[in-house]
Structures are given as structure tokens and as C-alpha cells.
Amino acid sequence: MKEDSYNTKLSLNQQPAGSQQMCRTIEEDAPAVDHHVDMSSSTSDDLNLIPPLNFAMVDNGIFRSGFPDSANFSFLQTLKLTSIIYLCPEPYPEANTEFLKSNGIKLFQFGIESYKEPFVNIPEDTIREALRLVLDVRNHPVLIHCNRGKHRTGCLVGCLRKLQRWCLSSVFDEYQRFAAAKARVSDQSGECSVLHGIN
């Protein structure tokens, strides 16, 4: 398909004067996309379905993972995604943007920095806005991801679990499963402060 057959819209959520941009949205107006993947005629050699790092289903229509690359695109097509919520500040790679265009997937980018220092919290306003998008079924099926699908993704999923009335010990257990040995006390304490503000 030709690059010029797409109309790219870039919109920034309205923010009060002097505040930082919270979410960058890239929407592709692409020709109608048939999301149906015919697997009946494919052999195991023809169909190479590799999920992204740390991939899991969170709930009906909600998935989580690490950063997908081109080896994961065939797998992602089977999910029939409507949206991707990207939690990192780095620009989305061109190959991934082309994948979004060709599959009619909307990208919501939240530039949450990755911090090594303890007690650095993810901004509550940003998490709330990302959570609002996760809860909006018009964005489903949706994939939530950061670089490794551990800390930033884990914090957002933890907030969703709180809304689903999970007890905090179960929220932290799930967080630990994905973060493995790199679970950060600051993420858990920051997640806790955000979680207490979510009803």
C-alpha cells in the first residue's frame, strides 16, 4: 500500500496552561481492514506466531506485553487490536508505526519515564488517563506495553486490578510475576499511593 493513501492525525489531549502533555494519540485513517486471519490453510511452517515478551491476557479484550517487534506482528494480527497503549517516552519505531497503519490500530502514547531511583512515583494524572482509555471498550481489544512489560505496564494493570476489587496482596503477586527479580519497591509503593486514590 502507498504511504500517501493514509491520513495521519496527531492530537494532543487538552491540558491546562503550563502542564505537561499527558498523552499523544496517533490515529490512522486506513482503508477498511479485514482483521480475519485464515489459519485453516496454513501449515505450522507457514504461520509463525510469536508473542511479545511478557505477553498475557489481562481481561477480555485487554492484553499486556513488552515492546513488540516485527517478529511479533503476525501474532498481534490474531488479536484484532483496535488500540495500543504505549507507556514509554521514546518515539514509536517506524516499522511498528507502519504495522499500526496497515492494521488500522490507534496508538495512545504516555511518556512515563523509567526511573532507577527509589520512591519515584508514576504521575497519578497520567495513570488515571491511561486507565480511562483501558476501561473504554471502544478501544478494545487493546494492548498495553512498555519496554519489558514489567514496571510501567505492571503499575497500570495493578490500578485496573484495584478497580476490579482485587486485594492488594494479589495485585502485588501479579506484579511480581511479571517483574521477576527486578520488582521495584518504589513501583509497589508508588502503585500503592495511586491505588489508594482509585475507587
pLDDT in tens, 86-111: 999 999 999 999 999 999 999 999 98
Let me know: does 158 contact 191? Beta carbons within 8 Å. Answer: yes
Long-range contacts of 156-159 (CB under 8 A, 24+ apart): 156/85, 156/87, 156/127, 156/130, 156/131, 157/58, 157/64, 158/191, 158/195, 159/127, 159/131, 159/191, 159/194, 159/195, 159/198
Residue 146 φ/ψ region, left for φ over 0, alpha for ψ in the -120 to 50 degree band, beta for the rest: beta
Q: Please give the model's pTM, rounded to 2 decimal places.
A: 0.74
Confidence (pLDDT) at 179: 85
Q: Which three cell numbers stand for residue 112?
A: 512515563
Mean of pLDDT over the chain: 78
Confidence (pLDDT) at 113: 84
Confidence (pLDDT) at 199: 56
Residue of 23, 88, 146, 159 with catalytic role: 146
Confidence (pLDDT) at 16: 43
Which is it for strands 142-145 and 62-65: parallel, antiparallel or unpaired?
A: parallel
Q: Cis ω on the peptide bond leading into residue 16 (within 30° of 0)?
A: no
Q: Which three cell numbers stand for residue 189?
A: 509503593
- What residue has cell string 503550563? 18
Give yes or no: 155 in active site: no
- What residue has cell string 519515584? 120
Q: From first to last of its 199 residues, what are the pLDDT tens digits of the chain?
A: 434 333 344 444 444 444 456 666 766 554 444 544 454 445 554 568 999 999 999 999 999 999 999 999 999 999 999 999 999 999 999 999 999 999 999 999 998 887 654 335 678 889 999 999 999 999 999 999 998 998 899 999 999 999 999 999 999 999 989 887 655 554 555 555 555 555 5
Tally of CB atoms within 10 A around 80:
17
Residue 54 φ/ψ region, left for φ over 0, alpha for ψ in the -120 to 50 degree band, beta for the rest: left
Q: Which three cell numbers stand for residue 137?
A: 471498550
Task: Write out pLDDT tens, residues 147-179.
Answer: 899 889 999 999 999 999 999 999 999 998 988
Confidence (pLDDT) at 21: 60
